Amino acid sequence: MIYKNINWKHFFAAIAILLFVIYFDSITESEIFSAVMAGDIQSIRGFVSDSWLYAYGFMLFIMIIQNSFTIIPLILVITINIALFGFLKGFLWSWFSSVAAGILIFLAVRYLFSDYTSGKVSSRQLSRIEEKGFVYVFSARVMPFIPTSVINILGGLSSIGLKSFTIGTALGNFIYFFLLALVPAGIMSSGMNHYLLGGILIAFFVVFYWIGRFKGRRNRKMTMKSAWFHR
């Protein structure tokens, strides 16, 4: 029969791409998306003032776009959320929606789009994330050197478990998003010493860097001991 010859993975992937492209095109052509890209908070407030449910849903979709293509600066998305919902709700919604978006992209790549993206990622990158697992995801989320979309794609293509990916994303994004949220919240301009804040951030990243190196050395020693034991 015909349905037996259908590659269902490719079929559902094509449907998902089609629906996303249609909705993405309608959103990106809208005035509210233009306001988002321009950072026009007042215009965004005007568009979503009639429905806060729509506001939360729209910002969730913006975060999904950010996690898929990284065409929208993360600090801009967080700033808009804080401007719309207040510091606490804006920060929490930015964090929650980022975790949800990351999981969505992770699952989509693993179960639908692995055939299309696997050839674009080196085996060395995959081996690194598979070797370190949670530590790699957490480090990549806290250290803003790797785009969010790349972390999601690498996670989906690797053999890392969803649980490790989710926990690493949740913890890493919570720390990094809180630091980013300080900027639109006005902490830096409300009397806090700029040098003090800068020192705190530098100290945080230095400590985290050395913790990562320490764990890496410990893992290598454990691997060497295990190899010697099995000789």
Structural domain spans, the chain? 2-192, 193-231
pLDDT digits (tens, 9 = 90+) for 3-33: 555 555 555 556 766 666 666 666 767 888 8
Distance (Å, rounded) from C-alpha 153 to C-alpha 147? 10
pTM of the model: 0.74
pLDDT band at 225 (very low <50, low <70, confident <90, very high): very low
DSSP-assigned states of every residue in 189-217 = GTT--HHHHHHHHHHHHHHHHHHHHHHHH
Q: Both tokens of residue 94?
A: 């930015």
Residues 159/57, Cβ–Cβ less than 8 Å:
no
